[in-house]
Amino acid sequence: MQGGMERTTGEKMVLNFGPQHPATHGTLRIVLELDGETVLKATPHAGYLHTGFEKLGEHLDYNQFIVVTDRMNYLSPLSNNFGYVLAVEQLLGIEVPERCQYIRVLMAELSRLADHLLWLGTAALDLGAFSVFLYSFREREKLYSIFEKTTGARLTTSYTRVGGVFRDLYDGFDNDARDFITNFPKALKETHTLLTRNRIWMDRTKGVGAISSDDAINYGLTGPCLRATGVAHDIRKAEPYSSYEKFDFDVPVGTNGDAYDRYLVRMEEMIQSCGIIRQALDNLPDGPFSLEDNKVMMPHKSDAYGHIEGLIHHFKIVMDGHGVQPPKGEDYCATESPNGELGFYIVSDGSGTGYRIRIRPPSFFHFQALPHMLEGGMVSDTVAVLGSLNVIAGELDR
């Protein structure tokens, strides 16, 4: 971060960065006040992708809202599905079978890999490392075919249901997933050789966009961005949910809280995720993949078509005012999504629709802290810092 305020000459230039700039990955906008190439002031603007998810939550029933959660962090829709149904299940006071918990962990970790891979590819692309982009998308594609086979969709997965997941893993999932985690560390090594000791990459990211751990907590940063500052906080460890306490994994931390450390933390997290996936595959319990309580879960199709009981249950769950109805109350449930703490605060009035569904998106806080990391730096660092934060407009604006 050479060149500080002392070089100010009085001539200011205002640069509108986004919302259509390719490095903003969507609809982010930053207004930069520049003196030469030095950023004097940065003002991020949110809201270009505001779609009223929270308002929709008050009009859709609990299972319908899962579809909306797909569109929040569109790099890892499975994590959003997971976090949301966990919150509803906690309101209902139910716990899903162990196999289901493992399936959800598997999916959450695979989507963490997919999210970090896309982040890696685009962050590197922003700084001119085109081959990294191709390498990471090659790997990501393999993950997306696993998602497609499991859930039927690449992006709009809507895999989870309140009380379970909508179908079991396919035959051959074990093979595909094992195949991936065996080959993936090798592929990641290629990226390491391309970037980690690369002079240009280090110059562009080391010491750029640094934030101290106190400031990071004060700004509400979570996930890899917080861990890069040296705070070893991971909700999977601190408040284990969905059997995470049974898994053995490390929480990688950085020291400087700069773009380079965020890169290293995410790279190591991917390796840790592979370990979690391997453990989950090894220990995947048998048994039902969903709650077998027809007051919560939809009965199997053959039941709905073949038995009057099943038909009644199907009808009851689908009809407004008969399906999933948590008791009056409220709950806040946080999960460790790839970007950080993804929280759902749900207030229930006892009906089939949430009274208030508040989503606490990690990107909102990261984008807010952007001026702190940019001001005093160079204009070209804006791209590096923004890339390192992985701000997703879908969950930022909701």
Partner 1 sequence: MNEEKEVSEEEQPLVLQKLQDKFADALLASAEIRQGVAVVVNKENIYALLEYLKTDLAYSFLVDVTAVDNSKLESELIQYDYARFMVVYHLYTYEGETSRIRVKVPVHEKDLKIPSVTQLWKGANWLERETYDMFGIEFEGHPNLSRILTPDDFEGHPLRKDYPLRGRGERESFNFEKQNV
Cα–Cα separations (whole angstroms), residue 273 to 31, 54, 70, 186, 194: 37, 30, 21, 15, 22
Question: How many residues are present in the chain?
Answer: 398
What letters, b where the CB count within 10 A reaches 16 and e where it falls short, cover 288-314?
Answer: ebbbeebebbbbbeebbeeeeebeebb
394's enclosing H/E stretch is: helix 393-397
Task: Spell out the residues 6+ positions from residue 238 whose beta carbon is closer than 8 angstroms to its own.
Answer: none
Q: Give the shortest CB-80-to-partner 1 separation in angstroms.
A: 16
Q: How far is the CB of 368 from partner 1 (least distance, A)?
A: 5
| Nearer of residues 299 and 361 to partner 1, judged by Cβ | 361
Is residue 306 within the footprint of partner 1 (CB under 8 A)?
Answer: no
Nearer to partner 1, 3 or 26 (CB): 26
Instruction: Find the helix packing angle between 173-195 and 98-126, rounded to 10°.
Output: 30
| Smallest separation (angstroms) from partner 1 to the CB of 330 | 8
Identify the CA nearest to 217 among candidates 226, 209, 230.
226
Contacts with 161 (C-beta within 8 Å, 6 or more apart), sequence order: 63, 66, 85, 290, 297, 298
| Binding-site member from 18, 77, 224, 343 for partner 1 (CB under 8 A) | 343
Mask: binding to partner 1, 189-228, rule CB under 8 A, as x and -? --------------------------x-xxxx--------
130 makes contact with partner 1 (CB under 8 A): no
Residues 252 to 281 in contact with partner 1, rule: CB under 8 A:
none
Residue 161, judged by CB atoms within 10 A of its CB (0-12, 13-18, 19+), counts as buried
Residue in 249, 365, 379, 393 binding partner 1, rule: CB under 8 A: 365
State which residue, 299 or 343, has the beta carbon closest to partner 1: 343
* Binding segment toward partner 1, per CB under 8 A, in 111-119, 139-147, 163-171, 354-362: 354-362
Site for partner 1 contains 31 (CB under 8 A):
no
Residue 80 amino acid letter: N
Which x/- pattern, by CB under 8 A, does the window 46-75 give for partner 1? Answer: xx--x-x-xxx-xx----------------
Q: Which is nearer to partner 1, 153 or 347 (CB)?
A: 347
- Measured CA to CA, the distance from residue 83 to residue 36 in angstroms comes to 45
**How near is the Cβ of 398 to partner 1 at its closest, in Å?**
8
- The pattern of x and - marking residues 229 through 248 that bind partner 1 according to CB under 8 A reads --x-x----xx---------
- Give CA–CA dist 290/158, Å, rounded: 15
Identify the residue among 27, 69, 76, 90 touching partner 1 (CB under 8 A): 90
- Select the span of 111-119, 134-142, 361-369, 379-387 touching partner 1 (CB under 8 A): 361-369
Considering the complex, what minimum distance in angstroms separates the CB of residue 334 from partner 1? 7
In 3D space, the residue among 24, 70, 65, 32 whose CA is nearest the CA of residue 48 turns out to be 24
Region of 287 on the Ramachandran plot (φ > 0 left; ψ -120 to 50 alpha; else beta): left
Residue 88 interacts with partner 1 (CB under 8 A)?
no
Structure tokens at 200: 């240009």
Residue with tokens 């939550």: 57
Q: Check the CA dihedral 277-279-282-283 and report its sign.
A: negative
Rule CB under 8 A: say whether 395 interacts with partner 1: no
114 vs 221, beta carbon nearer partner 1 = 221
Residue 138 binding partner 1, by CB under 8 A: no
* Interacting residues with partner 1 (CB under 8 A): 46-47, 50, 52, 54-56, 58-59, 90, 215, 217-220, 231, 233, 238-239, 328, 331-332, 334, 341, 343, 345, 347, 349, 355-356, 358, 360, 364-365, 368-369, 372, 397-398
